[in-house]
Structure 1
Amino acid sequence: MSNTFLTPSYHWRNRYLLMRHGHSQANAQGKIISSPEQGLANYGLSEQGEQQLEEALAQWSWPVPTQIVHSDFLRTTHTAARVAAAFGVGMQQEAGLRERHFGELEGQADSHYPDVWAFDAKSAEHTQWQVEPVSRVAARMCAVLEALEQRFTNETVLIVSHGDPLQILLTALAGKPLTQHREQPALLPASITLVGG
């Protein structure tokens, strides 16, 4: 991971729309679904999530994406597919954009998230409950952006990922300590944040 990439003054070759997936079946059930074994084939968008995507596309005020890159989890694939169909853009999967893995908390109640975040605030390297460390999430998310920067020029790239990874990425891009990622405004389902360009 290049240090220059993470400075707020980095000169971007592309602009990026960072999109959190729409409300999912896992959200509806209050479950942590973070493993590929569960997330790749199960727990797509909920009815609420489908409605969110419909509204987001009807009220689209962002630059039109020319490339779409998404986590290969079902909920992010569904979200990317809706946008791709609306704008006639191809899409590609990227495992580096997957959900943060929550280890032993997989399949448990999402009320455990604040317990993990409390440890995050103390150390970006912690692996309590065998969760994926914040530092590792930041590294893989930034690596995806670095690769896209090398691959494209003057494109508008929609990146569809998950709440924690996107907040961690935005914290890294702002040059802030990764332990502060929960101080970022929460990313709502189907929300978009513009970076670069």
Structure 2
Amino acid sequence: MTTRLIVWRHGNTDWNAGHRVQGQTDVPLNELGRQQAVDAAELLARMRPDALVASDLCRAADTAAALAALTGLSVTYDRRLRERYFGLWEGLTMTEITQTRPEEYARWTAGADDIGGEVETLDDLGKRVAEALQAAADLVEPGGTVVVATHGAAVRSGVGHLLGWPREQLRTLRALQNCHWVELTHDAQRGWQIATYNVGPFTDRPTPPPV
């Protein structure tokens, strides 16, 4: 039987809108983000999820709450689903980072694992998020559906690690839009496979940075 795992990015925040690095800073959803969560939840509820898991940061937890309200599911929180820790970058705009930390920014844009500035490595990020995604999938019986609400960089690295992709292949994935998701499937013969990517409402909106 095929298990379905929906990995869902949280709704918009004021820091997303201002291209400011959030990382593990606990920034709340803004009005747009709350509406995005409601609209996306209406689509996800049609998939009849059996379990709902979220990062404990409020922008992801409140996004998950919109789906919980429609489905009656309780939310399980997992700290491993938190966004990449961006260290000394958190709270800065991308323009400020290019001006004040140009060497680190160059390593980041080149896809380096360790960029400095106390930023979590991609390898550590991928491992912890993939562990949380697998744990979420294990909550349901084979053939079930679980939805996981998390963060942009966490989605890409966690999904890539779960699929066994090298970092070079991971860089081919564009950043998820707010309140969009990745659908993964798993069965005993084929293991994990990616079914859809960057699906959701508001497809005509620009994509904020996944931080």
1:25-83 Cα distance to aligned partner (Å, 9 max, x none): 32134321223xx31xxx21111112212322344485121111100111001100011
Find the counterpart in structure 2 of residue 73 from structure 1: 57
Residue 159 of structure 1 and its aligned partner are, at CA, apart by: 0.6
* Contact 1:34–1:102 under 8 Å retained in 2: yes
Q: 1:175 aligns with which of 153, 157, 164?
A: 164
Name stretches of at least 5 consecutive residues in structure 2 with no aligned partner: 187-211
Q: 1:136 aligns with which of 100, 124, 130?
A: 124
Residue 85 of structure 1 and its aligned partner are, at CA, apart by: 0.5
Higher strand share: 2
Q: 2:81 aligns with which of 90, 94, 97?
A: 97
Residue 13 of structure 1 and its aligned partner are, at CA, apart by: 6.4
Change (3 A) 1:45 1:122: closer
Higher helix share: 1
* Contact 1:117–1:182 under 8 Å retained in 2: no
Change (3 A) 1:62 1:128: farther
**Within 1, Cα distance between the matches of 2:48 and 2:6?**
9
1:123-144 Cα distance to aligned partner (Å, 9 max, x none): 32x1411110000001001111
Name stretches of at least 5 consecutive residues in structure 1 with no aligned partner: 1-11
* Contact 1:31–1:107 under 8 Å retained in 2: yes
Comparing both chains, which one has the higher relative contact order based on Cα–Cα distances under 8 Å and sequence gaps of 6 or more? 1
Higher mean displacement: 170-179 or 75-84: 170-179
Q: Which amino acid aligns with 1:177?
A: P
Q: Which amino acid aligns with 2:131?
A: A
1:27 equivalenced with 2:11 (yes/no): no
Total equivalences in the alignment: 179
1:139-168 Cα distance to aligned partner (Å, 9 max, x none): 001111232344432331111110001011
* Contact 1:13–1:149 under 8 Å retained in 2: no
1:66-117 Cα distance to aligned partner (Å, 9 max, x none): 111100111001100011101111101100000101111111114449x767
* Contact 1:13–1:153 under 8 Å retained in 2: no
TM-score, normalised relative to structure 2: 0.75
Find the counterpart in structure 1 of residue 150 from structure 2: 161
Q: Which amino acid aligns with 1:148?
A: A
Q: Which amino acid aligns with 1:84?
A: A
* Contact 1:171–1:184 under 8 Å retained in 2: no
Q: 2:36 aligns with which of 45, 52, 62?
A: 52
Change (3 A) 1:91 1:59: closer
**Within 1, Cα distance between the matches of 2:177 and 2:134?**
25
Q: Aligned Cα RMSD in Å?
A: 2.4
Find the counterpart in structure 2 of residue 17 from structure 1: 6
Counting aligned pairs with the same residue, the percent is 27
Q: 1:109 aligns with which of 82, 93, 101?
A: 93
